[in-house]
Amino acid sequence: MPLRSGRSKLKWRESIPTLVFLVLCLVVWQVSVDYFKLPLWLVPSPSAVLTAFWRTRDLLWAHTLTTILETTTGFMLAIALGLVAGMVMVLSPLAKRMFYPLLIVSQTVPLIAVAPLLILWLGYGLLPKIVTVVLVCFFPITVSLIEGLEVSDTDLLNLLTSMGATRWQILYMIRWPNALPSLFAGLKIAATYSVMGAVIGEWLGASSGLGVYLTLSSHSFRTDQVFAAIIAITLLSLVYFALITGIRRLALPWLHTEQD
Protein backbone atom coordinates (compact mmCIF):
# COMPACT_ATOMS: atom_id res chain seq x y z
CA MET A 1 0.00 0.00 0.00
CA PRO A 2 2.73 2.59 0.85
CA LEU A 3 4.50 1.78 -2.44
CA ARG A 4 1.29 2.20 -4.44
CA SER A 5 0.52 5.45 -2.63
CA GLY A 6 4.00 6.73 -3.43
CA ARG A 7 3.55 5.91 -7.10
CA SER A 8 0.19 7.70 -7.19
CA LYS A 9 1.74 10.81 -5.66
CA LEU A 10 4.58 10.65 -8.18
CA LYS A 11 2.17 10.43 -11.12
CA TRP A 12 0.15 13.32 -9.71
CA ARG A 13 3.29 15.44 -9.43
CA GLU A 14 4.26 14.58 -13.00
CA SER A 15 0.88 15.83 -14.23
CA ILE A 16 1.16 19.20 -12.47
CA PRO A 17 3.11 20.92 -15.32
CA THR A 18 0.46 19.86 -17.83
CA LEU A 19 -2.36 21.14 -15.62
CA VAL A 20 -0.57 24.43 -15.01
CA PHE A 21 0.02 24.91 -18.73
CA LEU A 22 -3.64 24.11 -19.49
CA VAL A 23 -4.90 26.59 -16.90
CA LEU A 24 -2.49 29.22 -18.21
CA CYS A 25 -3.77 28.73 -21.77
CA LEU A 26 -7.37 29.10 -20.60
CA VAL A 27 -6.55 32.28 -18.69
CA VAL A 28 -4.76 33.79 -21.69
CA TRP A 29 -7.68 32.79 -23.91
CA GLN A 30 -10.26 34.38 -21.58
CA VAL A 31 -8.26 37.58 -21.10
CA SER A 32 -7.57 37.93 -24.83
CA VAL A 33 -11.25 37.57 -25.77
CA ASP A 34 -12.31 40.08 -23.12
CA TYR A 35 -9.56 42.58 -23.91
CA PHE A 36 -10.01 42.60 -27.69
CA LYS A 37 -13.81 42.25 -27.36
CA LEU A 38 -13.95 39.47 -29.94
CA PRO A 39 -17.47 38.59 -31.10
CA LEU A 40 -19.03 35.36 -29.85
CA TRP A 41 -19.43 33.93 -33.35
CA LEU A 42 -15.71 34.36 -34.04
CA VAL A 43 -13.94 33.23 -30.88
CA PRO A 44 -15.99 32.50 -27.74
CA SER A 45 -14.34 32.75 -24.35
CA PRO A 46 -13.84 29.63 -22.18
CA SER A 47 -16.62 30.84 -19.88
CA ALA A 48 -18.99 31.18 -22.85
CA VAL A 49 -18.08 27.66 -24.01
CA LEU A 50 -18.77 26.20 -20.57
CA THR A 51 -22.07 28.10 -20.44
CA ALA A 52 -23.09 26.67 -23.82
CA PHE A 53 -22.00 23.22 -22.70
CA TRP A 54 -24.22 23.42 -19.61
CA ARG A 55 -27.13 25.13 -21.37
CA THR A 56 -27.36 22.45 -24.09
CA ARG A 57 -26.36 19.54 -21.87
CA ASP A 58 -29.56 17.55 -22.47
CA LEU A 59 -29.38 17.90 -26.25
CA LEU A 60 -25.65 17.28 -26.22
CA TRP A 61 -26.10 14.11 -24.16
CA ALA A 62 -28.77 12.80 -26.54
CA HIS A 63 -26.39 13.23 -29.49
CA THR A 64 -23.53 11.74 -27.45
CA LEU A 65 -25.50 8.53 -26.83
CA THR A 66 -25.79 7.97 -30.58
CA THR A 67 -22.07 8.50 -31.04
CA ILE A 68 -21.31 6.12 -28.16
CA LEU A 69 -23.41 3.39 -29.77
CA GLU A 70 -21.69 3.80 -33.14
CA THR A 71 -18.21 4.04 -31.64
CA THR A 72 -18.54 1.09 -29.28
CA THR A 73 -20.03 -1.21 -31.91
CA GLY A 74 -17.46 -0.26 -34.54
CA PHE A 75 -14.57 -0.49 -32.09
CA MET A 76 -15.54 -3.97 -30.93
CA LEU A 77 -15.95 -5.17 -34.52
CA ALA A 78 -12.56 -3.69 -35.43
CA ILE A 79 -10.94 -5.53 -32.51
CA ALA A 80 -12.47 -8.85 -33.57
CA LEU A 81 -11.55 -8.41 -37.23
CA GLY A 82 -8.08 -7.13 -36.37
CA LEU A 83 -7.31 -10.10 -34.13
CA VAL A 84 -8.42 -12.58 -36.79
CA ALA A 85 -6.60 -10.81 -39.62
CA GLY A 86 -3.41 -10.37 -37.61
CA MET A 87 -3.19 -14.00 -36.52
CA VAL A 88 -4.00 -15.28 -40.01
CA MET A 89 -1.27 -13.17 -41.59
CA VAL A 90 1.28 -14.30 -39.00
CA LEU A 91 0.40 -17.99 -39.28
CA SER A 92 0.24 -17.89 -43.09
CA PRO A 93 3.14 -16.13 -44.89
CA LEU A 94 1.16 -16.39 -48.15
CA ALA A 95 -1.76 -14.51 -46.62
CA LYS A 96 0.59 -11.80 -45.36
CA ARG A 97 2.21 -11.38 -48.78
CA MET A 98 -1.25 -11.06 -50.33
CA PHE A 99 -3.03 -8.79 -47.89
CA TYR A 100 -0.44 -6.81 -45.92
CA PRO A 101 0.48 -4.53 -48.87
CA LEU A 102 -3.23 -3.90 -49.46
CA LEU A 103 -3.60 -3.05 -45.78
CA ILE A 104 -0.88 -0.41 -46.10
CA VAL A 105 -2.28 0.99 -49.34
CA SER A 106 -5.72 1.31 -47.76
CA GLN A 107 -4.34 3.96 -45.41
CA THR A 108 -3.43 6.23 -48.33
CA VAL A 109 -7.13 6.71 -49.16
CA PRO A 110 -8.57 9.67 -47.21
CA LEU A 111 -11.42 8.70 -44.91
CA ILE A 112 -13.32 11.82 -45.92
CA ALA A 113 -13.44 10.39 -49.46
CA VAL A 114 -14.65 6.95 -48.40
CA ALA A 115 -17.35 8.03 -45.94
CA PRO A 116 -19.67 9.55 -48.60
CA LEU A 117 -19.53 6.29 -50.54
CA LEU A 118 -20.53 4.34 -47.44
CA ILE A 119 -23.50 6.64 -46.93
CA LEU A 120 -24.43 6.27 -50.60
CA TRP A 121 -24.25 2.47 -50.42
CA LEU A 122 -25.54 1.86 -46.87
CA GLY A 123 -27.89 4.79 -46.28
CA TYR A 124 -28.08 7.33 -43.46
CA GLY A 125 -28.56 4.91 -40.55
CA LEU A 126 -26.04 3.64 -38.02
CA LEU A 127 -24.39 1.09 -40.32
CA PRO A 128 -22.19 3.46 -42.40
CA LYS A 129 -20.94 5.16 -39.22
CA ILE A 130 -20.10 1.81 -37.66
CA VAL A 131 -18.24 0.77 -40.81
CA THR A 132 -16.35 4.07 -40.75
CA VAL A 133 -15.20 3.38 -37.18
CA VAL A 134 -14.13 -0.13 -38.21
CA LEU A 135 -12.06 1.27 -41.08
CA VAL A 136 -10.39 3.78 -38.77
CA CYS A 137 -9.57 1.30 -36.00
CA PHE A 138 -8.78 -1.83 -38.01
CA PHE A 139 -5.36 -0.73 -39.26
CA PRO A 140 -3.61 0.18 -35.96
CA ILE A 141 -5.02 -2.90 -34.23
CA THR A 142 -3.97 -5.31 -36.98
CA VAL A 143 -0.52 -3.85 -37.58
CA SER A 144 0.33 -3.65 -33.87
CA LEU A 145 -0.75 -7.26 -33.39
CA ILE A 146 1.31 -8.46 -36.34
CA GLU A 147 4.38 -6.60 -35.12
CA GLY A 148 3.95 -8.02 -31.64
CA LEU A 149 3.41 -11.58 -32.81
CA GLU A 150 6.48 -11.50 -35.04
CA VAL A 151 8.85 -10.06 -32.44
CA SER A 152 9.57 -13.17 -30.39
CA ASP A 153 12.64 -15.00 -29.10
CA THR A 154 13.97 -16.87 -32.14
CA ASP A 155 15.87 -19.42 -30.05
CA LEU A 156 12.76 -20.22 -28.04
CA LEU A 157 10.69 -20.57 -31.20
CA ASN A 158 13.28 -22.94 -32.70
CA LEU A 159 13.33 -24.97 -29.48
CA LEU A 160 9.56 -25.45 -29.48
CA THR A 161 9.60 -26.28 -33.20
CA SER A 162 12.28 -28.92 -32.63
CA MET A 163 10.10 -30.38 -29.87
CA GLY A 164 7.24 -30.82 -32.33
CA ALA A 165 5.06 -27.88 -31.28
CA THR A 166 2.45 -26.82 -33.81
CA ARG A 167 1.98 -23.27 -35.06
CA TRP A 168 -1.08 -22.86 -32.85
CA GLN A 169 0.82 -24.08 -29.79
CA ILE A 170 3.66 -21.66 -30.50
CA LEU A 171 1.11 -18.90 -31.02
CA TYR A 172 -0.61 -19.61 -27.71
CA MET A 173 2.50 -20.21 -25.60
CA ILE A 174 5.00 -17.69 -27.00
CA ARG A 175 3.75 -15.31 -29.64
CA TRP A 176 0.46 -14.22 -28.04
CA PRO A 177 1.84 -13.30 -24.56
CA ASN A 178 4.74 -11.50 -26.24
CA ALA A 179 2.36 -9.53 -28.50
CA LEU A 180 0.06 -8.18 -25.76
CA PRO A 181 2.03 -4.96 -25.02
CA SER A 182 2.14 -4.10 -28.73
CA LEU A 183 -1.53 -4.98 -29.14
CA PHE A 184 -2.62 -2.70 -26.33
CA ALA A 185 -0.53 0.11 -27.82
CA GLY A 186 -2.50 -0.29 -31.03
CA LEU A 187 -5.77 -0.42 -29.10
CA LYS A 188 -4.92 2.89 -27.43
CA ILE A 189 -4.35 4.50 -30.83
CA ALA A 190 -7.55 3.00 -32.20
CA ALA A 191 -9.50 4.17 -29.16
CA THR A 192 -8.54 7.79 -29.75
CA TYR A 193 -9.42 7.50 -33.46
CA SER A 194 -12.72 5.68 -32.98
CA VAL A 195 -14.80 8.67 -31.93
CA MET A 196 -13.32 10.72 -34.75
CA GLY A 197 -14.44 8.10 -37.28
CA ALA A 198 -17.99 8.13 -35.96
CA VAL A 199 -18.14 11.94 -35.97
CA ILE A 200 -16.89 12.12 -39.56
CA GLY A 201 -19.61 9.71 -40.64
CA GLU A 202 -22.24 11.74 -38.80
CA TRP A 203 -20.90 14.97 -40.20
CA LEU A 204 -21.49 13.77 -43.75
CA GLY A 205 -25.01 12.53 -43.16
CA ALA A 206 -27.01 11.48 -40.10
CA SER A 207 -30.03 12.43 -38.02
CA SER A 208 -28.28 12.44 -34.63
CA GLY A 209 -24.82 12.27 -33.12
CA LEU A 210 -22.09 14.69 -32.10
CA GLY A 211 -21.21 15.22 -35.76
CA VAL A 212 -24.77 16.38 -36.43
CA TYR A 213 -24.70 18.66 -33.38
CA LEU A 214 -21.38 20.06 -34.57
CA THR A 215 -22.66 20.70 -38.10
CA LEU A 216 -25.90 22.35 -36.99
CA SER A 217 -24.07 24.60 -34.53
CA SER A 218 -21.54 25.60 -37.19
CA HIS A 219 -24.24 26.44 -39.72
CA SER A 220 -25.99 28.55 -37.08
CA PHE A 221 -22.74 30.42 -36.28
CA ARG A 222 -22.98 29.18 -32.67
CA THR A 223 -19.26 28.90 -32.24
CA ASP A 224 -19.63 28.44 -28.49
CA GLN A 225 -21.67 25.28 -29.14
CA VAL A 226 -19.09 24.12 -31.67
CA PHE A 227 -16.44 24.31 -28.95
CA ALA A 228 -18.83 22.55 -26.55
CA ALA A 229 -19.15 19.71 -29.07
CA ILE A 230 -15.37 19.55 -29.38
CA ILE A 231 -15.10 19.23 -25.61
CA ALA A 232 -17.66 16.39 -25.65
CA ILE A 233 -15.76 14.60 -28.43
CA THR A 234 -12.47 15.00 -26.57
CA LEU A 235 -13.89 13.74 -23.29
CA LEU A 236 -15.48 10.73 -25.01
CA SER A 237 -12.16 9.86 -26.69
CA LEU A 238 -10.39 10.09 -23.33
CA VAL A 239 -12.98 7.74 -21.80
CA TYR A 240 -12.25 5.07 -24.41
CA PHE A 241 -8.50 5.60 -23.95
CA ALA A 242 -8.86 5.27 -20.18
CA LEU A 243 -10.89 2.05 -20.56
CA ILE A 244 -8.17 0.47 -22.69
CA THR A 245 -5.53 1.63 -20.21
CA GLY A 246 -7.49 0.11 -17.34
CA ILE A 247 -7.93 -3.21 -19.15
CA ARG A 248 -4.22 -3.22 -19.95
CA ARG A 249 -3.35 -2.75 -16.30
CA LEU A 250 -5.49 -5.74 -15.39
CA ALA A 251 -4.05 -7.91 -18.18
CA LEU A 252 -0.42 -6.77 -17.82
CA PRO A 253 0.04 -5.58 -14.23
CA TRP A 254 3.81 -6.00 -14.39
CA LEU A 255 4.16 -3.45 -17.21
CA HIS A 256 1.81 -0.56 -16.40
CA THR A 257 4.20 1.13 -13.98
CA GLU A 258 6.78 1.41 -16.76
CA GLN A 259 4.69 2.42 -19.75
CA ASP A 260 1.57 4.13 -18.33
Contact between 53 and 60 under an 8 Å Cβ cutoff? The reply is yes
Q: Is 64 helix (H, G, I), strand (E, B) or coil?
A: helix
The predicted structure's pLDDT at residue 141 = 96
Instruction: Tell me how far apart the alpha carbons of residues 205 and 129 are, in angstroms, rounded to a whole number.
Output: 9
Does residue 257 surpass a pLDDT of 60? no
Average pLDDT, integer, range 114-131: 89
Q: Where are the domains of the chain?
A: 43-253
Does residue 259 surpass a pLDDT of 50? no
What is the per-residue pLDDT across 140-172, written as a single tens digit (0 to 9) for each?
999 999 999 887 667 777 777 777 777 777 777
Contact between 160 and 233 under an 8 Å Cβ cutoff? The reply is no
The predicted structure's pLDDT at residue 174 = 80
What is the per-residue pLDDT across 44-76, written as a single tens digit (0 to 9) for each?
999 999 999 999 999 999 999 999 999 999 999
Higher pLDDT, 200 or 166: 200
What is the per-residue pLDDT across 240-251, written as a single tens digit (0 to 9) for each?
999 999 999 998
Would you say domain 43-253 falls under CATH 1.25.40.10? no
Which residues, including other chains, have CB under 8 Å from residue 211's CB and lie 6 or more apart?
67, 198, 199, 200, 201, 202, 203, 204
